[in-house]
Structure 1
Amino acid sequence: MNRVTPKLLESVRHQSVESKVVPSLERRRLRAYAVMLLADGAMFHLCFALAAMLWEGRWWEPRAMLAAQAMLPAYFTIALYNRTYGVRALGDWLFASRQAVGALLVSAALINFVGFYTKTNEDFSRASVTLGLLFTAILLVALRRVQAMVIARQWDGRVTNRLVIDDGGSSFPFDGADRILAADYNLDPASHDPFMLDRLGKLLRNQDQVVVSCPRERREDWAFLLKCAGVYGEIVSEPAHSLGAVGVHRYDELDRTTLVVSTGPLGLRARILKRAFDVVVAGSALLVLAPLLIVVAVLIKLEDRGPVLFIQRRLGRGNQFFDMFKFRSMREDKLDHTGERSAGREDDRVTRVGAFIRRTSIDELPQIINVLKGDMSIVGPRPHALGSRANNKYFWDIDRQYWQRHCLKPGLTGLAQVRGHRGATEHEKDLTDRLQSDLEYIAGWSLRRDIEIVLRTVRVLTHENAY
C-alpha cells in the first residue's frame, strides 16, 4: 500500500490546480479590437465612396473622400474614449452599436462645427456626406451584429474569464463564471504558506474578474490576497472601510452587492507598453551579449565540469512559483536550491569563476531568457527564494505586505537594487528597505521610470554588497 506523504498531497493538489487554469482571453480581445478598428476604417471609406457614386455618379469622388478622411480620426478618438472598442462592446452588440453610432454622430457634428468656423463647409456635398453617414451607421450596426455571431460561435460567447470563490459566504449565482470551493483547494486567506499562495495564483491566472464570497471575519484577508495577486477582485460584502474598497458593484439581477477591492497595478495600455519594452530590451541584450554568455558558460564548464546553469524556484507574479535561471557560481555539491543561506564574503561554496561573475552581476544575465518567456520583466521587484530569511525570520513573517510586492512580474533589476539594497539580508531592515522601494515602484510605475532604472543599473553592476 502506497503511503500518502505531504509531498504526494502537494503534487496531487498541484495537478488539480493546473487543470483549472483557464486560457487567457486578453490577446483574443486585442485581436478583435484591431480587426474592428481596421474594418471600421475601411467601411468609412467604402460607404462614402458608394454615396459619391450614387449621388455624384463618380466613384471615390475627392470631396466625399475628404469628408470621410477628416471625420475618421475624430471618430476613432471618440470611439476609443466611449468604449466602442471595449470588453462590454464585445459581449453586448446593442451596446457596441449605440456607442459606435454615437461616436459617428459626434464626430460628424464636430467636423461640421469646424467647417462652419473655417468656412470650408462648401467644399463638401451635403447630400453625399449625409448618404455616407447613413450607410456608415447601417454598416457599423451590421458589423457589430456579425461580430456577436462570430464570438458566439468561435468563443462560445465568452469574452471574459470570471471566477467565483466560495469560502462559506452567501450564494452568488454568477452566470458564465467558473466556481470553486476554497476548501477543495485548501485555500486559507490568513495563511502565509507559499505553496497555498502558489495554488491560489494558478487558480487566478488569466482571470479577468474574481468574486469571493466569504464570512465577514475572512473578508479583510481575502481583500489583501486579491491585492497581492494583482487581479480585478470583488468581495460579496456590505461596505467596510477596513477592506480598502476602491468601488462598489451592484448586481441588480442577483440582488447582490460586491466591494471592488483590487484592480491590478497596471491597466491594459501600461501592460502592453511594459511587455513591449521587455521584449525589445531583452531581445537586443541577448543578441549583443551572446559572445559573453558563451565565454562564461565555457569557463564554468571548464572549471569543474558541472552544469552551466543554476535553476532555482522563485516567487513570481501572483505569488506563483517559477524556475529562475542563473549562471552557476557555486560548487555543484554546495548548491542551495531553497536559498536558506545567503551568500557572504569569502563564501566557501563559491567557485573562482563564480566569485567574478557574482561580483560583476554577470551571473544574473541568463534571466534574460526568463524575461523573454514572460516569467520576469526587465524592471520590477527582485524575486526571492522560498527559504530567504532576515534575522532568522522568513520575509513574510517580518512584514505581511511582502506578498503585495508580487502583484507585478519580478524584475531583472529594480528600484531597490539601484538604491543599493542588495546582497545578504542579515537584518530585518535589509528586507523592509527593499520592500518599501518595491511598493513605491509598483505604486508609481511608468515606462520612463523603467528606462531610468535600467540606465542607473549600469552604474551599480559592481557593488560592495555583490558577493
Structure 2
Amino acid sequence: MEPERRLDDKKGRRPRSLHAGPPKGMPERRKHPRPPLAEIRRAASLSLLPNAVLVGATRVVEFLIIAGLGFAIYLLHVAQEPGQHIVYLGAVVTGALVFCGLAQGFGLYSIKSFREFTSSYSRIVLAWTLVLAAFMAVAFFAKVGAEFSRVWLGSWYVSVLSLLLAERLSLLILMRRWLREGRLYRRAVIIGGGEQAEELIRSLEASPNTDIRIAGIFDDRGDDRVLPLVAGYPKLGKIKDLVDFARKSRVDLLIISLPMAAEKRVLQILKTLWVLPVDIRLSAQNNALRFRPHTYSYIGNVPFIDIADKPIADWDFVQKRVFDAVLAGAGLLVLSPLMLLIALAIKLTSKGPVFFKQTRQGFNNELIDVYKFRSMYTDMTDAEADRLVTKGDPRVTPIGRLLRKTSLDELPQLFNVLKGDLSLVGPRPHALKAKAKDRLYADVVDGYFARHRVKPGVTGWAQIHGWRGETDTEEKIRRRVEHDLYYIENWSVVLDLYILLMTPIALLKMDNAY
C-alpha cells in the first residue's frame, strides 16, 4: 500500500505504531518511495486508470502487433497466390493467440510485470521463441512446411521481438509517470478510527501487491475518543463531511472499519454514502464470525465484505464510452440536415441565438453546460429552471413548442456526448433549481443524488416509460428517480440499445412535454 500522507506528532516524532514495526509473525512492511506532497495533491484530481483496463488493453495491443506484423510481412515479401491468404492469416492469428496464452501463464499481464522490464522482456523472448518453435514443429510433422516462406518466418520472429521491446519500454515509461501521478492507485478513505482502524492500516501496509493509497480517516467521535492521528493518517472530518470531500477530491474506495455487530451504525453510514460513485467495503479482519472464503474480497491479504460497487466501471465504462462516441458521431452526420433546418427555423421566427446553454449537475454532481436548441423567447429564458414550463406557457415560441413536444430541442446534446459530459443513455440531467410542485427534487426524494453515480444521458429508462417533461407532482419525480436507479443497477449495452430504439416510439406519445 502506497501511503497518501503521514503526519508527525507535536514533538516531530512519528506515532509509535509506525516505529515499532509489524506485530509478531507479521512480515516486515515494504519500503515505498513517498511521492512529493504536491504530486499527491495533484493525483487527487486525476482520474484512475483501472488495472483491469490497462492489462486488457496491453493484451489486445500485443495480439495486434503479432498478428498485424505477420500478415503485413506476408503481403509485402511473399509471392501473393490467392489461395495462400487464408493460410497465412490463420497462421498469424493462431500464433498471436498462443503467445497471449503463454504470456498470461508467464505472468506477463500484470501491473507488477509492466514495472519490471528486464525479467518481463526475457519471458517475452522465451514465450515468442516457444510459439515459433511449436509453429515449425507442427509444420514439419504435418508436412506443410514448404507452404511457408522461411524469410517470412524469420522476419516475423525478429520484427515482433523488436516491436514488443519498443512497446514494453514505452509502457514502462508510462507506468512510471502514472505511478508518480497516482493514476494506478485507488484512493481510499477509512470510516471509523480507533484501534480497529489502526490494526487494519498495519495489515494493509504489511500486505503485498495492494493498490490503494489512504487519504485519511472520517469519524463522528471527538478527539477525546478518536485521536486526530490514526496510525499516522489524519482524521479529516465527520462522516457527513465525506460526501462533500469525495465530490471535491477523487475517492475510489470507502473502507468501513466497524464491527459487524454495529449493524445500525453501518446502515446509517451506508444511507449517507450510497449516493457516491465509489466502491464500499466492510472490513472483516477483526470479526469473529467467519463465512466461506468466496464471501470475501481481498486487498492484499486483508479480507473485506463487498457492500457496494461503483456502477459502470472498468471495461463497462470503456464499452459505454465507445458506444456513445460511435453512435453520437454517426447521429450527428445523419441528423445534420434536420439540425440545420431547425436552426434556420429558430433564427427566422424569433430574435436571439439558435442554441441555449444551461448549467446542470452531471456525474458525481459536477456542474456541466448542456446545449439545447432555444425554445423560449430570449428575454424570457430561465437558465436555472426556477419555474416549470407548463401547458400553453407564454415563454415558449411556436417553433419551441413543437421542438419540446418532440424532444428535438435536445439534439445539440449529441455534442455533449462527444465531449464526454453526457452519455446517450442515462438519467436525465436536471436543472439546478428544478422543482416538483414548489420543492427541489433533492428535498422530495431521499437519496436523489444516487442517480448521479453515472453520467447523465440524452434519453433514459424513465423517459421511454413516460416519466418525462413536467413534474407538477412529487409522485412524478419519485417515479422518474425509481426508473433511473433501476437503470443504474441493471445497465448493459443491450439495455442501452433497447432504450435508444424505444425512444422514438415514446416520443410519439408526447405526454407531459410542453
TM-score interval, normalised by the smaller of the two chains: 0.5 to 0.7
TM-aligned CA distance change 1:98 to 1:288, over 3 Å: same
- Structure 1 residues without counterparts, runs of 5 or longer: 1-16, 46-62, 125-134
Q: Does 1:466 align with 2:513?
A: yes
Matching residue's letter, 2:361? L
Residue of structure 1 aligned with 2:404, choices 353, 358, 364:
358
Matching residue's letter, 1:230? P
Residue of structure 2 aligned with 1:271, choices 296, 317, 320:
317
- Map Cα deviations across residues 97-132 of structure 1 (whole Å, 9 max, x no partner): 999899999999x99xxx9xxxx77879xxxxxxxx
User: How far 1:234 moved relative to its partner?
Assistant: 3.5
User: How far 1:453 moved relative to its partner?
Assistant: 1.3
Contact 1:232 1:262 in 2 (8 A): yes
The alignment's TM-score, normalised by the length of structure 1, stands at: 0.68
Contact 1:167 1:213 in 2 (8 A): yes
TM-aligned CA distance change 1:146 to 1:190, over 3 Å: same
Contact 1:377 1:410 in 2 (8 A): yes
Higher normalized contact order (CA 8 Å, seq sep 6+, divided by chain length)? 2
Alpha-carbon RMSD across the aligned residues, in angstroms, is 5.0
Corresponding residue for residue 307 of structure 2? 261
Provide the C-alpha distance between the structure 2 equivalents of 1:149 and 1:312, rounded to a whole number of angstroms. Answer: 43
Provide the C-alpha distance between the structure 2 equivalents of 1:411 and 1:161, rounded to a whole number of angstroms. Answer: 29
TM-aligned CA distance change 1:145 to 1:199, over 3 Å: same
Identity of aligned residues (%): 29
Residue of structure 2 aligned with 1:210, choices 238, 248, 253:
253
User: How far 1:224 moved relative to its partner?
Assistant: 5.2
The alignment's TM-score, normalised by the length of structure 2, stands at: 0.63
Q: Does 1:284 align with 2:308?
A: no
Residue of structure 1 aligned with 2:483, choices 434, 437, 441:
437
User: How far 1:458 moved relative to its partner?
Assistant: 1.3
Provide the C-alpha distance between the structure 1 equivalents of 2:377 and 2:238, rounded to a whole number of angstroms. Answer: 39
Matching residue's letter, 2:359? R
User: How far 1:366 moved relative to its partner?
Assistant: 1.0
- Map Cα deviations across residues 176-220 of structure 1 (whole Å, 9 max, x no partner): 7262576999976548xxxx957633423xx6x424467778754
User: How far 1:21 moved relative to its partner?
Assistant: 0.9
TM-aligned CA distance change 1:165 to 1:457, over 3 Å: same
Provide the C-alpha distance between the structure 2 equivalents of 1:100 and 1:403, rounded to a whole number of angstroms. Answer: 48
Q: Does 1:162 align with 2:186?
A: yes
TM-aligned CA distance change 1:18 to 1:146, over 3 Å: closer
Contact 1:91 1:159 in 2 (8 A): no
Secondary structure class of the residue paired with 2:353? coil
Matching residue's letter, 2:358? Q
- Map Cα deviations across residues 381-400 of structure 1 (whole Å, 9 max, x no partner): 11112222324333333333
Matching residue's letter, 2:500? V
The aligned runs of 1:81-100 (5 Å cut-off) are 85-87=109-111, 89-90=113-114
Secondary structure class of the residue paired with 1:459? helix
TM-aligned CA distance change 1:39 to 1:299, over 3 Å: closer
Corresponding residue for residue 300 of structure 1? 346
Provide the C-alpha distance between the structure 1 equivalents of 2:432 and 2:238, rounded to a whole number of angstroms. Answer: 19
TM-aligned CA distance change 1:153 to 1:164, over 3 Å: closer
Secondary structure class of the residue paired with 2:387? coil
Matching residue's letter, 1:164? A
Provide the C-alpha distance between the structure 2 equivalents of 1:321 and 1:83, rounded to a whole number of angstroms. Answer: 42
Provide the C-alpha distance between the structure 1 equivalents of 2:376 and 2:472, rounded to a whole number of angstroms. Answer: 20
TM-aligned CA distance change 1:156 to 1:420, over 3 Å: closer
Residue of structure 1 aligned with 2:213, choices 177, 187, 198:
177
- Structure 2 residues without counterparts, runs of 5 or longer: 1-40, 72-86, 146-157, 206-211, 220-233
Provide the C-alpha distance between the structure 2 equivalents of 1:248 and 1:94, rounded to a whole number of angstroms. Answer: 32
State which drifts further: 338-347 or 79-88. 79-88
Provide the C-alpha distance between the structure 1 equivalents of 2:334 and 2:266, rounded to a whole number of angstroms. Answer: 50
State which drifts further: 290-299 or 273-282. 290-299
User: How far 1:282 moved relative to its partner?
Assistant: 0.8
User: How far 1:302 moved relative to its partner?
Assistant: 3.9
User: How far 1:431 moved relative to its partner?
Assistant: 1.8
Residue of structure 2 aligned with 1:249, choices 284, 295, 298:
298
The aligned runs of 1:387-398 (5 Å cut-off) are 387-398=433-444
TM-aligned CA distance change 1:26 to 1:257, over 3 Å: closer
Matching residue's letter, 1:393? R
Residue of structure 1 aligned with 2:277, choices 214, 218, 230:
230
User: How far 1:337 moved relative to its partner?
Assistant: 2.5
State which drifts further: 229-238 or 321-330. 229-238
TM-aligned CA distance change 1:287 to 1:95, over 3 Å: same
Secondary structure class of the residue paired with 1:229? coil
Contact 2:471 2:477 in 1 (8 A): yes
**Size of the alignment, in residue pairs?**
414
User: How far 1:414 moved relative to its partner?
Assistant: 1.0
TM-aligned CA distance change 1:251 to 1:20, over 3 Å: closer
TM-aligned CA distance change 1:413 to 1:186, over 3 Å: farther
Residue of structure 2 aligned with 1:25, choices 35, 49, 68:
49
Contact 2:115 2:175 in 1 (8 A): no
TM-aligned CA distance change 1:322 to 1:458, over 3 Å: same
User: How far 1:413 moved relative to its partner?
Assistant: 0.7
Contact 1:234 1:262 in 2 (8 A): yes
Secondary structure class of the residue paired with 2:430? coil
Contact 1:229 1:317 in 2 (8 A): no
Corresponding residue for residue 313 of structure 1? 359
TM-aligned CA distance change 1:101 to 1:385, over 3 Å: farther
Secondary structure class of the residue paired with 1:400? coil
Contact 1:282 1:368 in 2 (8 A): yes
Provide the C-alpha distance between the structure 2 equivalents of 1:227 and 1:78, rounded to a whole number of angstroms. Answer: 41
TM-aligned CA distance change 1:213 to 1:339, over 3 Å: same
TM-aligned CA distance change 1:78 to 1:419, over 3 Å: farther
Matching residue's letter, 1:405? R
Provide the C-alpha distance between the structure 2 equivalents of 1:224 and 1:37, rounded to a whole number of angstroms. Answer: 45
User: How far 1:345 moved relative to its partner?
Assistant: 0.3
Contact 2:372 2:411 in 1 (8 A): yes
Provide the C-alpha distance between the structure 2 equivalents of 1:416 and 1:68, rounded to a whole number of angstroms. Answer: 48
TM-aligned CA distance change 1:100 to 1:394, over 3 Å: farther
Matching residue's letter, 2:189? I
User: How far 1:82 moved relative to its partner?
Assistant: 10
Corresponding residue for residue 448 of structure 2? 402
Contact 2:188 2:214 in 1 (8 A): yes
Provide the C-alpha distance between the structure 1 equivalents of 2:276 and 2:386, rounded to a whole number of angstroms. Answer: 25
Provide the C-alpha distance between the structure 1 equivalents of 2:168 and 2:346, rounded to a whole number of angstroms. Answer: 61
